[in-house]
């Protein structure tokens, strides 16, 4: 398969691609090997180039959003907590970024609040509701991430990125694999470098994360917050309180 350095035409691009478009695999997209990434469906030998493109899209697209999933939302082991901290470090480098969680995978019927959550069974509703044109998925179990990415490509114009703990996601426009806490911190540093190269400044207050309307109501009418104030604490009580056990989370990963 050709690589992005050979200037091959992009394969996986923002949609809407229409009802039931062919999967990335049907279009010949292959998962990257360690150290590689996917750049709009094309293998990129240097994963840092993919990280840089993710940064550019998130720094320049309207309503850029991070979607953290259960593997980083729930404090189910020490590694999850470290990854969650790294996700917040990424968020801290993006002015006006939104952070909308995917706390679980059950359908939200009869109605979803798109300013509260995103759900893999109807992710387009959150994308449309917030007019999101670039996003990052982190900490979503792979089978649900694949479902979500296909639906977003089919029905929206959002540029999707997936920072995956496993082998990456071929249906994302941009993907980096093997994203443990150390690599996520590396992504945060790439974001910082790209932001500074683009001369994009962060607010002096450090409050660069923008609340949705629903989030603002929960936080006393505030419009923005500093993501580093949400660092997870010790212990796994938050996961256990919602019935999530470490062995179950690992089995699903």
Whether 19 maps to a domain, the answer reads: no
Lowest pLDDT segment from 2-11, 22-31, 239-248? 239-248
Q: Is 15 helix (H, G, I), strand (E, B) or coil?
A: coil
Q: Which H/E stretch holds residue 175? A: strand 174-176
The pLDDT tens digits for 34-90 are 999 999 999 999 999 999 999 999 999 999 999 999 999 988 888 899 999 999 999
Answer yes or no: is 21 within a domain. no
| Beta-bridge mates of residue 74 | none
Query: Does 7 reside within a domain?
Result: no
Is 191 within a domain? yes
**Which residues, including other chains, have CB under 8 Å from residue 152's CB and lie 6 or more apart?**
15, 123, 124, 127, 135, 158, 160
Separation between Cα atoms, residue 230 and residue 194, nearest integer Å:
24
Q: What is the radius of gyration, based on Cα positions, of the chain?
A: 17
76 lies in a domain?
Answer: yes
**Tens-digit pLDDT profile for residues 214-246:** 999 999 999 999 999 987 765 554 555 445 555
Beta bridge partners of 174: 39, 161
Name the strand (E) or helix (H) holding 154. Answer: helix 142-155
Pairing of strands 159-163, 37-39: unpaired
Beta strands in 33-142 (DSSP E): 37-39, 42-44, 65-68, 98-99, 134-138
Q: Is the peptide bond before 16 cis (omega within 30 degrees of 0)?
A: yes
Range of the domain at 209: 36-252
DSSP-assigned letter for residue 23? P
Query: How many domains is the chain built from?
Result: 1
**CA distances to 10, 36, 183, 227, 240 from 224, in Å:** 36, 35, 27, 9, 29
Residue 210, domain member (yes or no): yes
Task: State residue 249's pLDDT score.
Answer: 54
In the block, tokens 């056990």 appear at 245
Query: Could you tell me which of 4, 67, 13, 10 has the C-alpha nearest to residue 36?
Result: 4
- Domain assignment present for residue 198? The answer is yes
For residue 55, give the CATH number of its domain.
3.40.50
**Structural domain includes residue 124:** yes
Whether pLDDT at 17 is above 70: yes
């Amino acid at each position: 398969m050709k690589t992005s350095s050979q200037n091959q035409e992009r394969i996986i691009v923002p949609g809407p691609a229409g009802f039931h478009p062919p999967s990335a695999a049907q279009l010949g997209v292959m998962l990257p090997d360690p150290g590689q990434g996917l750049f709009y469906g094309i293998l990129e030998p240097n994963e840092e180039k993919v990280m840089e493109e993710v940064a550019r899209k998130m720094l320049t697209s309207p309503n850029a959003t991070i979607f953290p999933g259960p593997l980083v939302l729930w404090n189910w082991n020490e590694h999850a907590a470290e990854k969650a901290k790294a996700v917040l470090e990424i968020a801290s480098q993006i002015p006006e970024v939104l952070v909308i969680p995917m706390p679980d995978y059950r359908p939200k019927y009869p109605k979803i609040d798109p300013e509260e959550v995103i759900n893999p069974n109807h992710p387009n509703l959150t994308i449309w509701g917030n007019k999101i044109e670039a996003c990052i998925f982190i900490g979503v179990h792979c089978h649900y991430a694949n479902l979500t990415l296909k639906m977003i490509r089919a029905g929206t114009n959002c540029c999707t990125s997936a920072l995956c703990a496993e082998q990456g996601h071929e249906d994302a426009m941009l993907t980096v694999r093997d994203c443990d806490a150390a690599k996520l911190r590396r992504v945060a540093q790439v974001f910082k470098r790209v932001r500074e190269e683009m001369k994009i400044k962060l607010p002096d207050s450090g409050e660069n994360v923008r609340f949705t309307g629903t989030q603002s109501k929960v936080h006393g009418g505030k419009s923005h917050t500093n993501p580093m104030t949400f660092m997870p604490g010790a212990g796994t009580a938050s996961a256990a309180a919602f019935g999530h056990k470490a062995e179950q989370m690992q089995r699903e990963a």
